[in-house]
C-alpha cells in the first residue's frame, strides 16, 4: 500500500481520511502539528504528504519550507478556499499541487493519484531503452526514466511537478506552448480561470536554470499566450 502522511490539526478530519484512504489502497498516517509533520516527512518513508496550511504554532507554509530544505517528497497542500496568497506561496516553495478546503475525500484521492503518476520515476526494461527515452534540448538533458535533469552538465534540483513542466517545454523546444497545453500535458487536467500554478512553477524553474550566456532566460514568456524554451 502507498504510504500517505496527513499533517493537519483537525483530528476528526484526519481520522476520517485515514479510513477512506485505506479503502483506496493507501496507508494513511496522521500527525497534528507542523513539527511532527517535518520529522515524519523526512524520516517516515512516505510516498506523498498532505499538508494543511492553517495550523497553530508552525504553519503549513513553514512546515513545507522545512521539508523542502531536505526532501523532494511530493506535497499536496490543503488551502482555504479563495486564499490565493497561500496557494502561490506554497507552490513557490515547492508544493506539487493544492486542494481548497473543504474538499471531498474522492477529490483528494484523485489528486494524490495524479501527483504520484507524474512524479514517480518510470522504469525502463533496459539501459538502451532508458538512453533512447532521454530528452535533449540544446545543453539541457532530461532522463524521464530516472527523472533527473542536467543543464550544461550541472544537475538541476527539480520537484516532480517542475520536472514534468520542463519536460513538456523541452520536447517542444523552440516552439510556443500555451499554458492550457502545459497544464493538460504536465498536470493531466485543464487550467482553470485565474489559476497561477503554471506561472509560479515556471518562475521557480527559471531560477534553477539560471540565465544564458547572453543574459536572457532559458524560458521566454509570450504574454497572454504561453512559454517557449529557447536553445539557440
Q: Please write the tens of the pLDDT for every residue from 101-142.
A: 888 999 999 999 989 988 776 555 544 444 447 899 999 999
Domain with CATH 1.10.10.10 in the chain: 127-229
pLDDT given for residue 127 in this prediction: 45
To the question of domain 2-119 being in CATH 3.40.50.2300, the answer is: yes
pLDDT given for residue 192 in this prediction: 76
Reading the block at residue 149, the C-alpha cell is 535533469
Reading the block at residue 189, the C-alpha cell is 487536467
Inter-residue contact 115 to 160 (CB < 8 Å): yes
Model pTM score: 0.71
Q: Which helix (H) or strand (E) holds 202?
A: helix 197-209
Q: To which residue does cell 478556499 refer? A: 81
pLDDT in tens, 42-98: 997 999 999 999 998 899 999 999 999 999 899 999 988 667 788 888 888 889 999
- Looking at domain 127-229, which CATH architecture does it have? Orthogonal Bundle (1.10)
pLDDT in tens, 155-178: 999 888 899 899 999 999 999 999
Domain with CATH 3.40.50.2300 in the chain: 2-119
- Distance, in Å, from the CA atom of 143 to the CA atom of 91, rounded to the nearest integer, reads 24
**How close are the terminal C-alpha atoms of the chain, in Å?**
46
Residue 59 to residues 32, 78, 90, 189, 219, Cα–Cα distance (Å) = 11, 12, 11, 29, 33
pLDDT in tens, 7-34: 999 999 999 999 999 999 999 999 999 9
Inter-residue contact 48 to 74 (CB < 8 Å): yes
Selection from 198, 156, 188 nearest residue 72 by Cα: 156
Mean pLDDT for the stretch of residues 138-151: 91
pLDDT given for residue 130 in this prediction: 46
Amino acid at each position: 500500500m502507498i504510504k500517505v502522511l496527513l499533517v493537519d490539526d483537525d483530528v476528526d478530519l484526519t481520522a476520517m481520511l485515514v479510513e477512506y484512504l485505506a479503502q483506496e489502497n493507501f496507508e494513511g498516517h496522521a500527525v497534528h502539528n507542523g513539527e511532527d509533520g517535518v520529522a515524519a516527512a523526512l524520516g517516515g518513508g512516505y510516498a506523498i504528504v498532505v499538508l494543511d496550511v492553517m495550523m497553530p504554532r508552525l504553519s503549513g507554509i513553514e512546515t513545507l519550507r522545512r521539508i523542502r530544505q531536505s526532501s523532494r517528497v511530493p506535497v499536496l497542500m490543503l488551502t482555504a478556499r479563495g486564499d490565493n496568497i497561500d496557494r502561490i506561496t506554497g507552490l513557490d516553495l515547492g508544493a506539487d499541487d493544492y486542494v481548497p478546503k473543504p474538499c471531498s475525500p474522492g477529490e483528494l484521492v484523485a489528486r494524490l493519484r495524479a501527483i504520484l503518476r507524474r512524479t514517480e520515476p518510470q522504469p525502463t526494461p533496459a539501459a538502451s531503452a532508458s538512453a533512447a527515452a532521454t530528452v535533449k534540448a540544446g545543453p539541457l538533458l532530461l532522463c524521464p526514466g530516472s527523472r533527473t535533469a542536467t543543464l550544461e552538465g550541472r544537475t538541476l534540483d527539480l520537484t516532480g511537478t517542475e520536472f514534468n513542466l520542463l519536460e513538456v517545454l523541452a520536447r517542444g523546444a523552440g516552439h510556443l506552448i500555451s499554458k492550457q497545453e502545459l497544464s493538460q500535458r504536465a498536470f493531466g487536467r485543464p487550467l482553470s480561470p485565474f489559476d497561477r500554478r503554471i506561472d509560479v512553477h515556471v518562475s521557480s524553474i527559471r531560477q534553477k536554470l539560471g540565465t544564458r550566456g547572453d543574459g536572457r532566460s532559458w524560458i521566454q514568456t509570450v504574454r497572454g499566450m504561453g512559454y517557449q524554451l529557447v536553445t539557440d
